[in-house]
Amino acid sequence: MINKKILGLAGLTSFGLATAPLAVVYADDSSAATLNSNAQVSFIKDETTKSVLNPSNPVNTDGSQNSVTPIDNVTKKEPNSGTSGLLTIDFASSFDFGTNIISSAKQTYYASAQSYSNKGTMTTGPNFAQVTDNRAGNEHTGWKLQVKQDDDFTAVNDANSKLTGATISISNGKVVNGNGSDKAINPVDANSVAIGKENTTVMSANSGEGIGTWIYSMGSQDNADKSVSLTVPASSKINEDAYKTTLTWTLSDTPS
């Protein structure tokens, strides 16, 4: 009996030794080879004419810019091309105040909404002006967009007949970021902004700001046809004719 117990104990001990985990031996990788390769990206200046963006929805859901094809509301043709370079005016609306009955009383008329083709469909939105700053990083000195009325509204068939004192005003103005980011620039005056014969600043960016595309929107989709007005004073000597003037938009590379 004693011998059997000893043998049994000896057998268990032997089994335990046999199932003990083996030590893992790693190979020495001190002789591994390495090789360097290169990665590079280059940039060049973009001085091309920029696309005009939808003033109400300038950026698509995928982050790409939502371009449109506007028409000149006065001529009903293709508008004047945007400027070229690194700091550009890409578009500025023309104002059509419609055909109205002659009146000797003070009257206010409203410009029609901006017409444009968006993805092949003609639609309307707020009148607007668009600016793009594609200068290099160390050249972002800021900018300002200004507008003025070059002369009084003058009758097409009688240069001596003018709407002296008639004033264009913009209300509901706002800045729209056309870059798909949450960056902002100087706020615009949302109240009435009169366009006179001297430059009036309507949108500006401080030094180091205003990079990319920005839109000065004159109203929204809801009030697009009530945000640009023409007020003609009482007792104006008006002919049965069309009266025209030009607006000059100026973009300077210095902030207000």
Domain ranges for the chain, please list them.
Answer: 69-252
pLDDT in tens, 170-214: 999 999 999 999 899 999 998 889 999 999 999 999 999 999 999
Check if the beta carbon of residue 146 is closer than 8 Å to that of residue 201.
Answer: yes
Q: Which of 158-162, 175-179, 233-237 has the lowest mean pLDDT?
A: 233-237
Average pLDDT score over the chain: 89
Residue type at 7? L
pTM for the full predicted model: 0.83
Q: What is the pLDDT, as a whole number, of residue 17?
A: 47
Q: What is the pLDDT, as a whole number, of residue 8?
A: 42
pLDDT band at 138 (very low <50, low <70, confident <90, very high): confident
Q: What is the pLDDT, as a whole number, of residue 13?
A: 44
Residue 239 structure tokens: 């002919």
pLDDT in tens, 123-136: 999 999 999 999 98
Q: Does residue 233 sit in helix, strand or coil? A: coil
Mean pLDDT of 121-150: 94
pLDDT at 16 over 80: no
Q: What is the pLDDT, as a whole number, of residue 58?
A: 96
Q: Does residue 151 sit in helix, strand or coil? A: coil
Tell me how far apart the alpha carbons of residues 242 and 72 are, in angstroms, rounded to a whole number.
17
Closest CA relative to residue 88, chosen from 254, 250, 256? 250
pLDDT at 22 over 60: no
